[in-house]
Amino acid sequence: MPDDIENMNAALALARDGLGQVAPNPAVGCVVVRDGRIVGRGVTQKNGRPHAETVALADAGTDAARQSEVFVTLEPCAHHGKTRPCAGALIAAGVRRVVSALEDPDPRVAGQGHQMLRDAGIKVDIGIGAEAARAVNIGYFTRLAKGRPFVQLKLAVSADWKIAAEPGRRTAVTGTQAQWATHKLRAHADAILVGAGTWKADDPVLTCRGSGSEDRSPIRIVLDARAELPINCKLVQTAGDVPLWVVVGETAPAQNRRALKTRGIRILQSATKNGRFDLDDLFGLFGRDGLTRLLVEGGGQVAQSLIEAGLVDELNIRGKGGAGVRFSVAPGGIVRL
C-alpha cells in the first residue's frame, strides 16, 4: 500500500501540471511501474490529446509495459473518439494491474473502462488518491454535473478590506508576491473573466508573467455588452498572441462587432436582462464551449453578481503580503479551505 500511494502521488503531480491546458478533457496523470520502479510517465497533452495512458505507455516502451502496473488519476476511457480507448491500449500493452483513483462520471465511460480491463483479466483497484484526484479535476466534474465551469473568484484586498480607492479608479492593493501568486492561478485556469469596469479602469493584459508560466496564459474573456472595447487597449493589441473572447449583448452595434472580429477576437453573444447579462445563459455558454476552470478577476460589481447568483465555487482572497486565503462557496455557506 505505501508504494501504491507513492506511485499515485507521482501520477497526481503529473495531472496538476496539465491544468489549464487540456479542456474540455480532464487533466490526467499516469505512471507505469515495473519491478517497483517507474518506467513510464504521461500526462494528457495540450488540447486533450493524446491521453495520459498512451503517453505513459509510449514512454515506458513495449517491453517494460508488459506485465507492469499502471497508476492513473482517472478511469481509462472506454469510448472511441479521436483516438482509440485508453482501456484498449492498456489491454493491448499487456499490463497486469491498473490502479485508478476515480471512476469517470462521463456517461461514455462511467465504469465501462474498468470493466473492459477486468474482462481482459487485468486486476483493477479503485480509490487510492481519490480525494486529491477529485480536487485536481473539480472543473471537469463541475462541467459534467452543472453544465458550466468551476468558478474561482479572486479578489485582491487592502488591509481594511477594500478592493479599490473608489469605483472605476485603478488601485494597487497588493505587492509583488501576490501578483506572482495571481499568475500561478491564471496558469491553471482555462480562461480569465473580467467585467467592463476592470478593463475600463485598468487596461489589463491578463497574461501569465514572471512565474515561469509565461507560455500558459489562458483565454481572456471580457464582458462588453456594447462591444466598446477600444482597439488600442492592451487586450486587443495582444489578441494575436493570446486568445481573446468578447461577450456582447443582443444590441451590440454591428460595426463594433466587426471592428473586433477583424483583429482576430472571438465574439460571443449572450442574453441580457434589464441591461445586464443573464448569468445562467452566459455560464452555460462557457460550459458548452468546453471551459472547465474559470478564474474571475472582475471588480466588486461582477463579484457581487456572481455570488448572489450562486455561481462562485471558490473564493480566493489575497492581500499585500501575497498569502492567499481560499474559501469554498456552496449553498450551505462559505467555508475556509
166 catalytic? Reply is: no
- Residue 304 and residue 276 in contact, taking contact as beta carbons nearer than 8 Å: no
Q: Which residues contact 61 (CB under 8 A, 6 or more apart)?
A: 39, 40
For 277-302, b/e burial (b = at least 16 CB within 10 A) is bbbbebbbbbbebebbbbbbbbbeeb
For residue 301, the Cα-to-chain-centroid distance in whole angstroms is: 24
- Partners of residue 153 on adjacent β-strands: 296, 315
Phi and psi dihedrals of 329, rounded to 5? Answer: -110, 115
Q: Distance between CA atoms of 242 and 276, rounded to whole angstroms?
A: 27
Q: Which of 291, 325, 322 shows the shortest CA–CA distance to 311?
A: 291
Point out the catalytic residue in the list 6, 53, 131, 314. Answer: 53
Grid cell for residue 293: 476552470
List residues bridging with 317 in a β-sheet.
Answer: 155, 325
Say what angle helices 86-93 and 112-119 make with each other, to 10 degrees.
20
Half-sphere exposure at residue 73, Cβ-oriented, CA atoms within 13 angstroms: 32
Q: Which residues are catalytic?
A: 53
